Amino acid sequence: MPSEKEIIIIQKATVYDLLKILKKDADKQYTVAELENLIDVYITGLEQ
What's the total number of domains in the chain? 1
| DSSP string of the chain, one letter each residue | ---HHHHHHHHHHHHHHHHHHHHTTTT----HHHHHHHHHHHHHHHH-
Q: What is the pLDDT at residue 45?
A: 87
Q: What is the pLDDT at residue 27?
A: 94
Host domain of residue 24? 4-47
Q: What is the pLDDT at residue 46?
A: 74
Residues 6+ apart with CB under 8 A from 14: 42
Residue-wise pLDDT for 1-48, tens only, equals 999 999 999 999 999 999 999 999 989 999 999 999 999 999 998 766
Other Cβ atoms less than 10 A from the Cβ of 2: the count is 9
- Tell me how far apart the alpha carbons of residues 5 and 9 are, in angstroms, rounded to a whole number: 6
Task: For the full predicted model, state whether its pTM sits above 0.85.
Answer: no
